[in-house]
Amino acid sequence: MAIQLGDIAPDFSAESTEGTIRFHDWIGDKWAVLFSHPKDFTPVCTTELGMVARIKSEFDKRNTKVLAVSVDDVPSHKGWIGDIEETQSTRMNFPILADPDRKVSNLYGMIHPNANDTLTVRSVFFIDPRKKVRAMITYPASTGRNFDEILRVIDSLQLTDHHQVATPANWKNGEDCVIVPSLQDPEELKKKFPKGYKALRPYLRMTPQPNR
């Protein structure tokens, strides 16, 4: 069955460019982003891995580990890393999982046969420290991902885990949030949102981001 939000992320053990990865142990008490690439030595994937390497410190700030997966083997990945570093002006600083037998790709439903029956699509799984799948994004091979959006999703998940807010359309870290409709008690509202809020409608209440 397809993975759904709230499911425990399937665990696995697989080889990577940084040795064997036992996925749940590797995540430890951090957040994780697992993202698939159709194939080594392909142009869009090369730019994506270079981008993630360049902004890795942004993932670190968010207590989040990143793990790429591609259906080729470790020697192929290692050869490709040379190209990524040279063409994308970066040093690789996170592991690429080898998946020549499609074990991980199949476990996570990353192969969509009507798109391509042997290569993965561009899947992204956001996994929390309890190993729950908290968000998923899927793009076709022809569309490179926007990693600012991936950081934005992590920001939203981490914020809304700790405050009774949700993040509106195109929200970015630091911008106003909406108060969850279930919170109605006036005393609680005062306590949780000391900076106040603006009710545009009874169900649409905007408040400054509570942890800022």
Binding footprint of ligand BEZ on the chain (CB under 6 A): 38-39, 42-45, 141-142
- Output b/e per residue, 36-64; b: 16+ Cβ within 10 A: bbbbbeeebbbebbbbbbebbebbeebeb
Contacts of 55 (CB under 8 A, 6+ apart): 147, 151
Residue with smaller CB distance to ligand BEZ, 44 or 55: 44
Contacts of 43 (CB under 8 A, 6+ apart): none
Contacts of 10 (CB under 8 A, 6+ apart): 3, 23, 107, 108
Residue with smaller CB distance to ligand BEZ, 44 or 81: 44
**Nearest approach, Cβ of 42 to ligand BEZ (angstroms)?**
3
**Nearest approach, Cβ of 34 to ligand BEZ (angstroms)?**
17
Structure tokens at 168: 């509106």
**Nearest approach, Cβ of 165 to ligand BEZ (angstroms)?**
36
> How large is the greatest C-alpha to C-alpha distance in the chain, in angstroms?
61
Residue with smaller CB distance to ligand BEZ, 17 or 156: 17
Residue with smaller CB distance to ligand BEZ, 17 or 46: 46
* Residues assigned a catalytic role: 45
The residue among 143, 103, 119, 125 whose CA lies nearest residue 38 is 119
Residue for token digits 């899927």? 138
Residue with smaller CB distance to ligand BEZ, 27 or 71: 71
Residue for token digits 């957040």? 31
**Nearest approach, Cβ of 119 to ligand BEZ (angstroms)?**
6
Backbone phi and psi for residue 125, each to the nearest 5 degrees, phi listed first: -115, 130
**Nearest approach, Cβ of 152 to ligand BEZ (angstroms)?**
23
CA–chain centroid gap for 127, Å, is: 7
Between CA 93 and CA 86 the distance in angstroms is 14
